[in-house]
Amino acid sequence: MQKSNKSIAGYHILMILSSVDGEFAPEEGLKFQEFLAEEFPFKVDLDDELDIIATLHPDKWQEHFEFHAQCFYDDSTDEERKSFAEFAKSLIKADEDVTDKEHDYYLQLKKIWKLD
């Protein structure tokens, strides 16, 4: 995989977090729009990134998630990681049902970023 910048890595992380429970709830979509507006205030084509994620077999999500978590870590400050982790938490809680899988991925993110 090719290293991603912080914004693209965040996109991949959030897409996987929102997909691991097998459902993309409308509430998650609204949270996701917040991220896109903040990180990409200019017109950007994310079709290639979406295609990568959409064609990724679920048994490869973990590896992909870890890779992009590391990319984000490499390009961010501690404050940016803390803020993103809080946003990621709000994303998985948006539908008011946090699954074990979502929680596991979230904890993994915090572990990779040394937030606990």
Name which of 107, 106, 80 is nearest 18 in CA terms.
106
pLDDT at 42: 78
pLDDT at 104: 96
In a domain, 1, yes or no: no
pLDDT at 50: 85
pLDDT at 75: 96
pLDDT at 32: 84
Contact between residue 32 and residue 18 where contact means Cβ atoms under 8 Å apart:
yes
Query: Domains in the chain: how many in total?
Result: 1
pLDDT at 43: 76
User: For the stretch 22-58, what's the b/e string if a residue is b when 16 or more beta carbons lie within 10 angstroms of its beta carbon?
Assistant: eeeeeebeebbeebeeeeeeeeeeeeeeeeebeebee
In a domain, 25, yes or no: yes
Residues whose CB falls within 8 Å of the CB of residue 50, separated by 6 or more in sequence, listed in order: 15
In a domain, 58, yes or no: yes
Neighbours of 86 (CB within 10 A): 10
Average pLDDT of adjacent 10-residue blocks, the chain of 116 residues: 90 93 86 89 82 91 96 96 96 92 96 93
Domain span at 46? 6-112
